[in-house]
Structure 1
């Protein structure tokens, strides 16, 4: 990275950091889901591993840009209930949050990051569908549509 980053590079770093924050929350959330539900434990562990891989990829992208990756929070919001329905809805929200972060990342000029964002948005959408979400017309947009 140059001594003075361009506005495009600043935007890429900010979007990477936001996606990394979403991945940290997903990792924490799936650890909670896996610990609380026998019915969804195996699926939660598969998704936990997917999010760990994405976290590592985002951290590497930031380090490559000489940016310090944000640290994980010490705690994240968790559902008040731990029945299967509440945990399933929580998993859908985790995937919607990561999808939104990747939608933001897809707006950066760097083609490699846009590719990463598109693939990650697609994966988050598929994971949310597996957890029982309805397919939104525009995955990643809050409310499933621009301006919703």
Structure 2
């Protein structure tokens, strides 16, 4: 049975974000701004229907994902890097795995829980960045 990730999370750490953003062709100034941000995540998840919403909230820009697990959808990543990907998000064991097909190879992310910590690993073209969020409600 899949986990229910519903909740509000605040970032406690991140690593290798500049290299990840560079691999996405994000310009130097924007990379520096993004690396200074401390995003929060709000996740709503209905395990019965597989519907999820993931909101990443910052003082600079917010990013929303609204999807059904296992169903491919066209994802507009304009707020991130201006690209559109065909995205599929589904469970692989106890990890929520996203695959984004588009201009950049091997792009996607994985979420998993360890206690009250939500881990996020973001991948693109062999570069991996990690963020950890603490569940606060």
TM-score (norm 2): 0.25
Task: Give the number of the structure whose residues are more often helix, by fraction.
Answer: 1
TM-score (norm 1): 0.24
Task: Give the number of the structure whose residues are more often strand, by fraction.
Answer: 2
Which of 1 and 2 has greater Rg? 1
